[in-house]
Structure 1
């Protein structure tokens, strides 16, 4: 028992403690903005929330912080999920245009449904997880559509978590692919290019789903889940 308590304390000290501190701080800011600013400007609240969430991005970009965190995880073979949101921020029309302009300037593939992937944090995580008890990477592509407003019109968090009973106007689909870490490129530049190619494939999938939804040939077998029957 004491072994697991010590493990939890070490994980908090070396890894998640800093992230948790910023997460709690941002939640407090979000609550205050909801109570005191929302009655006057909902757009301002959305901007505050977006900037606050993005400000946590640097925590998972620091190489030394990642190294210390993964050192403890590997030492104890701790069962973990590391969630890496490679786009780095939420998509909106302006950010999509900026990303497309950046891609054209840099000679990168121009995506129609996704932002340019930020590969640095992902590459650093994979480097730390190689040859450990963590064997796989799961690639999630999430698609949603509104019955009248169309493909990728975003629901809010309440509508996402309420699912079908309160949100019959939305349909959601999650496409999952699994990759063995041992099969990924070992060179950092090649791994970054692998991520960019994955995003090209994800973008093509979303473009096809825009017109054919779950009838897309790119999906393979589709399983339908019913919530709150």
Structure 2
């Protein structure tokens, strides 16, 4: 009988613990559900965009103040602008990593891993997703080169407040996508990076524009005319920008990082999804290729790049079949600095905004209340419009014409 009593007593304790555990799990799920709903609210989106824009304008102003320093101590001015630029771009990294909770997994050779963040490199990225730039920046942040990272961007972006103005002070290479006009400007901009005081990654989307079915069809027609193998998951790369970059950064850059990005479960992540707190899982496959193994001759360099994209297509096919890239996983951990920077700007800027709105609402003036409401509505519409510009179906028309794609 004692054995039976002991058994029944133990069973009752287990049941109680089970109920207690279930209750804790339910409470956790409720809290997580509440948090997820909160992330989808327009008010949160307004606050996030307000902090980004206002902090960005402040940083642009600080960057403008560094102009006299360029004539006194150019390298110091560059280092300061790296930190100021980091304060802007890391907010988007924090949005992806900490607000959305998106996971980023790196597939790479363990022997190459120690070089990442310790050398200058050209990073060749595929261009298939709306947030591929945020994912690229996330890996730049994890290896400590986010503030000094470079891109080849269209000239129009240099006039865009916050990001474009920040890039101007970071010596980003801008082009008009008309090679006859761009060559001299691009070469000069690349030469200016030869004495850059920080390790940097030069990020290149060699396809020139984001992947769409329409652009892919036109691109493969060009590949057929040139006698090149067709690609399934990529557009035909434009070779001139890559070849000029390699030619002018030899001796400064030591490697090319061939980087192929995909998202699990065949998801097509969006910036709006990230803003709503939706969690994605990015997988990035990186191969380190020493720069001295890439041909110097322009035609041979172009052939090398075509072969690289054939390899990238095979990696994507492998991912579609196995749901993973080849090789081991060696993922760098998240760093807290992007989150701390974001929280700093939130604390600095949200409190005075709340006090201002509170005073306006307590003033009792119907006109003031209506104006406040209209202003918030206009801001929300503007934010949705800006997010819409990142959507794939609203991307640029660059690449929709055969003559553009054929202009390598």
Give 1:159's aligned residue. 273
Q: Residues 106 and 180 from structure 1, CA distance in 2 versus in 1: closer, same or farther, beyond 3 angstroms?
A: same
- Check if 1:4 corresponds to 2:74: yes
> Which structure has the higher relative contact order (CA within 8 Å, separation 6+)?
2
Give 2:328's aligned residue. 221
Q: After superposition, give the CA deviation of every residue in 1:134-174 in whole Å (9 maximum; x if it has no partner).
A: 2111111001244xxxx3x5211243577xxx334x43211
- Check if 1:63 corresponds to 2:183: yes
Contact 1:137 1:178 in 2 (8 A): yes
CA distance in 2, matches of 1:124, 1:85: 14
CA distance in 2, matches of 1:81, 1:61: 25
Give 1:171's aligned residue. 281
Contact 1:112 1:203 in 2 (8 A): yes
Post-superposition shift, 1:192? Answer: 0.6
Of the three residues 208, 230, 236, the one matched with 1:116 is 236
CA distance in 1, matches of 2:300, 2:275: 37
- Check if 1:136 corresponds to 2:255: yes
- Check if 1:102 corresponds to 2:222: yes
CA distance in 2, matches of 1:129, 1:62: 17
Give 1:38's aligned residue. none
Post-superposition shift, 1:211? Answer: 1.8
- Greater helix share, 1 or 2? 2
* TM-score (ref. length: structure 1): 0.66
* TM-score (ref. length: structure 2): 0.39
- Check if 1:180 corresponds to 2:290: yes
Equivalences, count: 183
Q: Residues 127 and 160 from structure 1, CA distance in 2 versus in 1: closer, same or farther, beyond 3 angstroms?
A: farther
RMSD, aligned α-carbons? 3.6
Q: Quick check: which has more Rg, 1 or 2?
A: 2
Structure 1, unaligned runs of 5 or more: 29-54
CA distance in 1, matches of 2:219, 2:243: 20
CA distance in 1, matches of 2:182, 2:274: 31
Give 1:203's aligned residue. 313
CA distance in 2, matches of 1:126, 1:93: 30
Contact 1:61 1:121 in 2 (8 A): no
